[in-house]
């Protein structure tokens, strides 16, 4: 028997990503999102959903650019901080000691210390309700050499991204390898 839990934003897993933007004076800011996913292959795009109340919302609208910064488990505390305080009141980079670096392709900062970065150009914004969905075209992916696997792509076990469990409001690490996609299900 399944129990109905009602209409909720509850699905497993969601990511823990930190969105980098500049405000109108050029101050770098960082905000955590769990409402995010890849949303198109060609052109390569990523979608994130932000409330208008966030400082990042205005920064993104103004600069039309953002970065997606994937924290490793090592930076979980900082990622949680970025999602707890607003850049309206705080300089979050000063407070965490993390390093904002101007993107090579877009007008937004990325976080030097995080292992995996997407530089994104805003191409759509769609107000849904409380959240507005922003679609960014991925202009570049950057990864620390230390997290690359044998095939040259980032290795999930080396990046050690964080998973979020909505409603329970807890973080989890990535589990063990369990199979190859487009392979394990072959007839």
Ligand X SMILES: Cc1cc2nc3c(=O)[nH]c(=O)nc-3n(C[C@H](O)[C@H](O)[C@H](O)COP(=O)(O)O)c2cc1C
Residues at the contact surface with ligand X, assessed by CB under 6 A = 16, 29, 31-35, 49-51, 54-56, 80, 83-88, 164
CB of 176 vs ligand X, minimal distance in Å: 24
**CA-to-CA distance for 120 and 106, rounded, in angstroms?**
7
Nearer to ligand X, 80 or 155 (CB): 80
Nearer to ligand X, 48 or 117 (CB): 48
CB of 67 vs ligand X, minimal distance in Å: 13
Nearer to ligand X, 68 or 138 (CB): 68
| Residue whose C-beta lies closest to ligand X | 83
Structural contact between residues 33 and 181, judged by C-beta atoms closer than 8 angstroms = no
CB of 161 vs ligand X, minimal distance in Å: 13
Query: Helix, strand, coil proportions of the chain in percent (round to 5)?
Result: 15, 40, 45
Written as one string, the DSSP assignment of 30-78 is EEEESSEEEEETTTTEEEEEEETTSHHHHHHHHH-EEEEEE--GGGHHH
**CA-to-CA distance for 125 and 103, rounded, in angstroms?**
21
CB of 20 vs ligand X, minimal distance in Å: 11
Nearer to ligand X, 83 or 154 (CB): 83
């Amino acid at each position: 028997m399944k129990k109905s839990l009602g209409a909720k934003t509850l699905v497993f897993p969601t990511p823990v990503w930190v969105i980098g933007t500049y405000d109108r004076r050029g101050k770098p800011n960082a905000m955590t999102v769990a409402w995010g996913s890849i949303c198109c292959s060609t052109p390569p795009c990523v979608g994130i959903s932000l409330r208008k109340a966030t400082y990042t919302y205005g920064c993104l609208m103004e600069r039309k650019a953002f970065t997606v910064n994937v924290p490793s488990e090592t930076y979980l505390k900082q990622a949680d901080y970025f999602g707890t305080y607003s850049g309206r009141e705080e300089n979050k980079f000063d407070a965490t000691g993390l390093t904002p670096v101007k993107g090579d392709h877009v007008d937004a900062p990325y976080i030097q210390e995080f292992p995996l970065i997407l530089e994104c150009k805003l191409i759509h914004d769609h107000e849904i309700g409380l959240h507005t969905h922003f679609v960014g075209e991925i202009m570049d992916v950057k990864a620390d050499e230390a997290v690359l696997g044998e095939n040259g792509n980032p290795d999930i076990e080396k990046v050690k991204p964080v998973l979020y469990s909505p409603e329970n409001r807890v973080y989890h690490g990535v589990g063990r390898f369990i199979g190859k996609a487009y392979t394990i299900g072959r007839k």
